């Protein structure tokens, strides 16, 4: 069973893509809505939460881990691997970097949370593969709440996108990486802002493709979603974003802190 986990509801974008590439496979998702957002927290805290989140989905029977969250992928993957060395683990940054490298991009923009951009991991990994590339990284913290309010096409959102992306557009980036779980919902508005000459790489989609290609045999089974806080708003978003979910459960955060 695939165990997907994220800081909250944004990782459902990865679940949607996994369902597209691996229809019918058993999947358990944990979203840490009680402690979200992770993107403004310190690396130390994100690492502690990430190990607890991984333990929770493993406790639910997961045999393959997918870190849906860019922030955890940027700062906590080593900690998760160290704690669970024998469990196959996928994260969202490596597939996005592979996609950038395959394009032989020259001027690359990366957008994400403060923690992801502050880690510099995307830039570092892209430069390892494309040493001559120019990488411009930019934190876009306001985009997460706008998505969670469902304001995908709102004038306010377009204004915020313009403000964040103007410098990248100025630098004529040829490739832009959406380095945050929530940004796929804004892909059209972002692509429109960046123009036709800029390819937009969605880390949720390239990650799901990588899991489908490399995960080996996976069992068929239900799709269950677990959240450490299940407000009516969270439940509404989860139902709208993943209508085929077989169950939506609340797990008290204390249980996650105790290790599942």
Query: With CB under 6 A as the contact rule, which of the stretches 18-26, 32-40, 52-60, 210-218 interacts with ligand DGL?
Result: 32-40
Using CA atoms, how far residue 26 sits from 23, 64, 130, 247, in Å, is 9, 11, 37, 12
Residue 6 binds ligand DGL, judged by CB under 6 A: yes
Which residue in the block uniquely carries the two structure tokens 């489908």? Answer: 212
| Catalytic-role residue among 108, 165, 180, 230 | 180
Residue 110 binds ligand DGL, judged by CB under 6 A: no
Q: Using CB under 6 A, pick the residue from 15, 30, 36, 57 that binds ligand DGL.
A: 36
The structure tokens listed for 145 are: 């709440």
Residue 228 binds ligand DGL, judged by CB under 6 A: no
Residue nearest to ligand DGL (CB): 39
Which residue in the block uniquely carries the two structure tokens 């590339």? Answer: 133
Cα separation, 202 vs 206, in Å, equals 7
Nearest Cα neighbor of 50 from 39, 18, 61 is 39
DSSP symbol at 179: E
Site mask, ligand DGL, residues 41-70, x = CB under 6 A? Answer: ----------------------------xx
Cα separation, 40 vs 59, in Å, equals 27
Query: With CB under 6 A as the contact rule, which of the stretches 7-15, 77-85, 123-131, 244-252 interacts with ligand DGL?
Result: 7-15
Applying CB under 6 A, the residues found at the interface with ligand DGL are 6-8, 10, 36-39, 69-71, 112-113, 116, 144, 180-182
């Amino acid at each position: 069973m695939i165990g997907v986990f994220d800081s909250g509801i944004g990782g459902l974008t990865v679940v949607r893509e996994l369902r597209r590439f691996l229809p019918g496979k058993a999947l358990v998702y944990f979203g840490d809505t009680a402690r979200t957002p992770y993107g403004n927290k310190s690396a130390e805290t994100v690492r502690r939460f990430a190990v607890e989140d991984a333990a929770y989905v493993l406790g639910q029977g997961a045999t393959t881990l997918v870190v849906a969250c860019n922030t955890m992928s940027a700062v906590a993957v080593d900690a998760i691997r160290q704690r669970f060395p024998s469990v196959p683990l996928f994260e969202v940054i490596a597939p996005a970097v592979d996609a950038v490298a395959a394009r032989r991009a020259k001027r690359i923009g990366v957008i994400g949370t403060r923690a992801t951009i502050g880690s510099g991991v995307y830039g570092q990994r892209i430069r390892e593969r494309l040493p001559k590339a120019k990488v411009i990284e930019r934190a876009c913290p306001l985009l997460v709440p706008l998505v969670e309010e469902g304001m995908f096409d709102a004038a306010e959102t377009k204004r915020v996108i313009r403000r964040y992306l103007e410098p990248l557009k100025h630098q004529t980036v040829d490739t832009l990486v959406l380095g945050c779980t929530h940004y796929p919902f804004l892909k059209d508005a972002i692509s429109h802002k960046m123009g036709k000459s800029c390819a937009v790489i969605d880390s949720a989609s390239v990650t799901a493709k990588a899991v489908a290609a490399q995960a080996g045999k996976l069992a068929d089974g239900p799709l269950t979603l677990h959240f450490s806080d299940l407000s009516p708003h969270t439940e509404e978003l989860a139902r709208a974003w993943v209508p085929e979910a077989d169950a939506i459960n609340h797990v008290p955060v204390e249980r996650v802190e105790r290790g599942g």
